[in-house]
Amino acid sequence: DAKTTQPNSMESNEEEPVHLPCNHSTISGTDYIHWYRQLPSQGPEYVIHGLTSNVNNRMASLAIAEDRKSSTLILHRATLRDAAVYYCIRDDKIIFGKGTRLHILP
Amino acid sequence: EAQVTQNPRYLITVTGKKLTVTCSQNMNHEYMSWYRQDPGLGLRQIYYSMNVEVTDKGDVPEGYKVSRKEKRNFPLILESPSPNQTSLYFCASSIRDFPLLEQFFGPGTRLTVL
């Protein structure tokens, strides 16, 4: 099964860190993990991707478990503009699924 | 500006009337793809193309056709649209398909089939 598993929704306060989990227990050693987000009324946008080690960019950090069966997208300081649906996908099978709807409380 | 464009953005049509949704990218990307998004089902891939004249089915290809005659364009064709094809459609492109790098998505086309 090439799917990933994410919580349906999460809530966080503005200006606090957010940790969005994703399980991908059947992933192979060569499959990348990608994260996208979809803001209201927009197409998805790329956030970050990684293979084994933790990754950082201007938008977020990606922490990948040592066994690669799970990963966590970290938004270091959430803003209201980060309210979106976040998708975790693996590149052996492009399945966006339903993602996690992130609510940010002011 | 690097972008993926789709036309039209909104379309209302009737059952059986052939239509084409265009997709164009200006980034010289090899990989292009079409998705549909429906409430409760997330995004599902319809077709993808790894390069000119190379296309393959995604998860929900029934009722759709595509062509890739030029690198920049990847039109989605509905030969005989039906109401169950009412959906929000997204085109996307990426510089390569393995490993799949950052996909750039278009703004979407909202299609209603009566």
Q: Of B86, B92, B11, which is closest to residue B47 (Cα–Cα)?
A: B92
State the Cα angle at B9 between B23 and B3, rounded to 5°.
Answer: 45
Write the pLDDT tens digit of every residue in A48-97. 999 988 999 999 999 999 999 999 999 999 999 999 999 999 877 777 88
Contacts of A99 in chain B (CB under 8 A): 42
- Among A32, A46, A95, beta carbon nearest to B103: A46
Binning pLDDT at 50, 70 and 90, where does residue B107 land? very high
d(CA B16, CA B102) in angstroms, rounded, equals 36
**β-bridge mates for residue B89, sequence order:** B36, B109
Q: B99 CB near a chain A CB, below 8 Å? A: yes
Question: Residue A1 pLDDT more than 90?
Answer: no
